[in-house]
């Protein structure tokens, strides 16, 4: 029996740059990996073919699961894979914007590649990951990265996160990613989409990028964090807006929703460590799942 641990990520800002003609959104975001919350995968080789998946979490079905998609994508790229049975134990909340499904997929892809007779190169792994979802390629690298395009353009960042503490709040709310982007489109992109049919509905402008100076990060700071999807999600889920307000009230330097939600994060400087601990305790008292973690330049 093989045991794999799949951590998660937070978006330290998410800017919607535009929409491609194929309907995919172009994004600019800063992803940071976290060791927890995490999922656990128990893998057993069956000696047959294909993947058999079991998970006790309601709403997780083999047909739609990212592990099944990852296995199928690897077979297409590599020409084959051993038959396996996987028991998935979820620790990353569904619909939390933490990339749990993508992290699971990347963990399985890396394991399959390690035991393959002819391993895929980096480009092949990225293609397989992209076939699963836009966030999946990031988890192949598992280090802080600027993420652009639909998730396939990754630029490692040397920004020093070591002086920051993260308070991550995960309420029992499931925000559907497709719904969040559709709602954002309805609010902000409909007119642009009608006017421009053959290219991005919004051209990438400096004001809409997470690093305005280009691929470098010299001008970025924690105070630049902004998640464009909050304007679409918060009216439907006011509890998330309330969590953000609470984080700021307790003294977070900045706060935002992660990805399409529903998790919300607050960043505290090391000198405010006591504030971060008090904040985490106060929010746990509201019966939310709360994590207090130091940020750094290493992942899981």
CATH of the domain at 212: 3.30.70.890
When divided into structural domains, the chain yields a total of 2
Flag whether 203 is in a domain. yes
Q: Which residue among 133, 156, 179 closes a domain?
A: 156
Flag whether 258 is in a domain. yes
What CATH number does residue 117 fall under? 3.30.230.10
**pLDDT for res 163:** 83
**pLDDT for res 61:** 75
The CA distance from 98 to 256, in Å, is 13
State the catalytic residues.
Answer: 9, 135
Q: Which residue ranges in the chain fall short of pLDDT 50?
A: 191, 193-208, 212-219, 298-300
* Domain assignment of residue 149, given as a range: 2-156
Provide the whole-model pTM. 0.86
Q: What contacts 202, CB < 8 A, 6 or more positions away?
A: 16, 17, 18, 19, 189, 192, 208
**pLDDT for res 203:** 35
Q: Which CA distances in Å does 95 have to 71, 84, 176, 177, 262? A: 22, 27, 6, 7, 6
Same domain, residue pair 182 and 271: yes
Same domain, residue pair 6 and 139: yes
**pLDDT for res 188:** 84
Same domain, residue pair 119 and 199: no
Same domain, residue pair 131 and 227: no
Secondary structure (DSSP) of 15-40: EEEEE-TTSPEEEEEEEEEEEEEEEE
**pLDDT for res 212:** 46
Same domain, residue pair 220 and 246: yes
**pLDDT for res 196:** 43
Q: Which residue among 101, 133, 156 closes a domain?
A: 156
Same domain, residue pair 18 and 151: yes
**pLDDT for res 209:** 52
Segment 259-288, tens digit of pLDDT: 999 999 999 988 888 999 999 999 999 889
**pLDDT for res 223:** 65
Flag whether 141 is in a domain. yes
Same domain, residue pair 194 and 140: no
Same domain, residue pair 126 and 14: yes
């Amino acid at each position: 029996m093989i045991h794999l641990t799949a951590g998660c990520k937070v978006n330290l800002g998410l800017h919607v740059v535009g929409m491609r003609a194929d309907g995919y959104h172009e994004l600019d975001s800063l992803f940071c990996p976290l060791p927890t919350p995490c999922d656990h995968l128990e893998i057993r080789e069956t000696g047959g073919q294909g993947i058999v998946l079991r998970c006790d979490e309601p709403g997780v079905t083999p047909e739609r699961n990212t592990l099944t998609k990852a296995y199928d994508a690897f077979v297409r790229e590599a020409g084959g894979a051993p038959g396996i049975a996987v028991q998935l134990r979820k620790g990353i909340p569904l619909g939390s914007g933490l990339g749990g499904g993508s992290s699971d997929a990347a963990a399985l892809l890396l394991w399959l590649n390690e035991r393959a007779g002819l391993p895929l190169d980096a480009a092949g792994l990225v293609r397989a990951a992209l076939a699963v979802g836009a966030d999946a390629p990031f988890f192949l690298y598992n280090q802080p990265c600027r993420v652009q395009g639909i998730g396939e353009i990754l630029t490692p960042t040397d920004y020093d996160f070591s002086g920051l503490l993260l308070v991550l709040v995960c309420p029992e709310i499931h925000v559907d990613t497709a719904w969040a982007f559709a709602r954002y489109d309805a609010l902000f992109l409909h007119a642009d989409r009608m006017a421009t049919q053959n290219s991005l509905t919004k051209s990438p402008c400096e004001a809409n990028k997470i690093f305005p100076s280009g691929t470098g990060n010299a001008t970025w700071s924690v105070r630049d964090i902004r998640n464009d999807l909050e304007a679409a999600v918060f009216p439907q889920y006011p509890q998330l807006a309330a969590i953000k307000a609470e984080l700021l009230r307790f003294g977070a330097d900045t706060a935002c929703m992660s990805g399409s939600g529903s998790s919300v994060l607050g960043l505290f400087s090391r000198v405010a460590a006591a504030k971060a601990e008090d904040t985490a305790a106060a929010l746990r008292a509201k019966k939310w799942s709360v994590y207090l973690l130091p940020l750094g330049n290493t992942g899981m």
